Structure 1
Amino acid sequence: MFNSIMEANRAAFSAFGVPDADSGTKTAGSEASRLEDRLEPAEDLPEWTTEVDAEAELTVGDTVRFSKSLSEADVERFAAASGDTNPIHLDDDWAEETRFNGRIVHGVLAAGLISAALARLPGGIVYLSQDLEFRAPVRLGDRITAEVEVVEDLGGDRYRLRTTVEKDDELVIDGEAVVLIDDVPEN
C-alpha cells in the first residue's frame, strides 16, 4: 500500500512540475508550460459549460451555472496543490476496499466549481463565507454542474446565495454562501 501511495504522490507532483527528488528535474507542468497554458480572466476552456441568468447588477433570483467533467489529471493536480494525498482519491486498489468501492474526487475540488460559477457573476466577487454539505460522492470522469442562485440582497453589496453541485440530477453538494460584489477596477 505504501508504494502505491508514493506512486500516486509522485504522479500528482509530476502534474504540477514539482522536481523529482531523485533526478532534480521537472516533468509535466514546467514553468514555461504553465505560462503558455495560463488563462485570461473570464476565458473558458472548450469542455466547460457556463449559463448566466444575471444582469449587470445582481438581483434576487439571478443564477449562474458552471459545468465540467472532473478528470484524473484534475484530481492529481488538486492533490499536489492542496497536499491532500488521501488514498481514497489517488489509489485504485486502496479505494476499492472502502465504502465507496473505488476512487472519489476530493469534495473540496468538486465544491470548487461553485467558485468557478461565482467568477462568472458581474463584478468582482469576494467570498465572505461558504457552508457545504456533502451528500454523495463524485467519481473521476463525472460531469458535475455547480449552480449559484442569489436568494437575498443583504445590503452593502453583500448577497446570500444558495450553492449546489449536481451530477445527473443528483444533489451531491448543498450549501450557502455570502459574497461581496466589488466594482471591477478599470484597466
Structure 2
Amino acid sequence: MTEFEPAAAAPIVPGYRFSRTHAFDEEQVRRFALAAGDDNPLHHDAEFARGTRFGGLIASGTHTTSLLMGLTASHFAKKGNVLGINFSVDLLRPVRASETVLIEWNVLSIAARPRGGSIIEMQGWVKSADDRTSVLAHGTVLLNEYN
C-alpha cells in the first residue's frame, strides 16, 4: 500500500487531494466480509462466486467503503483532531478480490466554524487499474488542526 501525501505545508483548499493504493486478495476479502457479518457467498465462497457473472470473489461494499472512510481518518489525523460527520456512497461496479485499486479524495470546499475547526466537504472514489470508478463517495469531516 502506498499513500500520496500532499506537501506537509500544503494548505487544505478546494482541489487538495490525497490517495493511496490498496491490493485486495481472496483471503483478505473473505476475512473482512465475515468479520463485518456479511456472509454473502460472493465474498467468501470462491467456487460459488466463479459460477456467477463476476467469475470470482468480489470485495463487499462494506470493505471498499471502510477503506475510503479510513483514508480520511488516517490522513486528517496527521493534521489535527478529525471527526467524520457524513458519508454517502454509490457502489457502481464490483471490486474483484484480486484487484489493486486507487482510493482517493478531493476536497470540494472548506469552511471555518465560528466555534473552531473547519468543515471539509470531499468527493472520493475507488478506481480500478483501468481508471474505471467502482465506488463513488461524498464525505464531510470536521477538522480541528494542530497549531
Alignment of 1:25-36 (within 5 A): none
CA contact (8 A) 2:120 2:140 kept: yes
Q: Which amino acid letter does the alignment assign opposite residue 94 of structure 2? A: P
CA contact (8 A) 1:66 1:116 kept: no
Q: Which portions of structure 1, spanning 4 or more consecutive aligned residues, are displaced by more than 6 angstroms?
A: none
* 1:107 to 2:61 alignment: yes
* 1:175 to 2:130 alignment: no
Select the structure with the greater relative contact order (CA < 8 A; seq sep ≥ 6). Answer: 2
* 1:159 to 2:125 alignment: no
**2:75 matched residue in structure 1:** 120
Q: Which amino acid letter does the alignment assign opposite residue 75 of structure 2? A: R
- RMSD over aligned Cα, in angstroms? 1.9
Larger Rg: 1
Distance (whole Å) between structure 1 residues aligned to residue 143 and residue 25 of structure 2: 31
Question: TM-score by structure 2 length?
Answer: 0.83
Larger proportion of strand: 2
- Percent identity, aligned pairs only? 25
**2:31 matched residue in structure 1:** 77
Question: TM-score by structure 1 length?
Answer: 0.67
Task: Return 5+ residue gaps in structure 2 as ranges.
Answer: none
Distance (whole Å) between structure 2 residues aligned to residue 180 and residue 151 of structure 1: 14
**1:53 matched residue in structure 2:** 6
Q: Which amino acid letter does the alignment assign opposite residue 75 of structure 1? A: V
Task: Return 5+ residue gaps in structure 1 as ranges.
Answer: 1-47
**2:94 matched residue in structure 1:** 137
Tell me how far 1:57 sits from its aligned partner.
Answer: 4.6
Q: Which amino acid letter does the alignment assign opposite residue 40 of structure 2? A: N
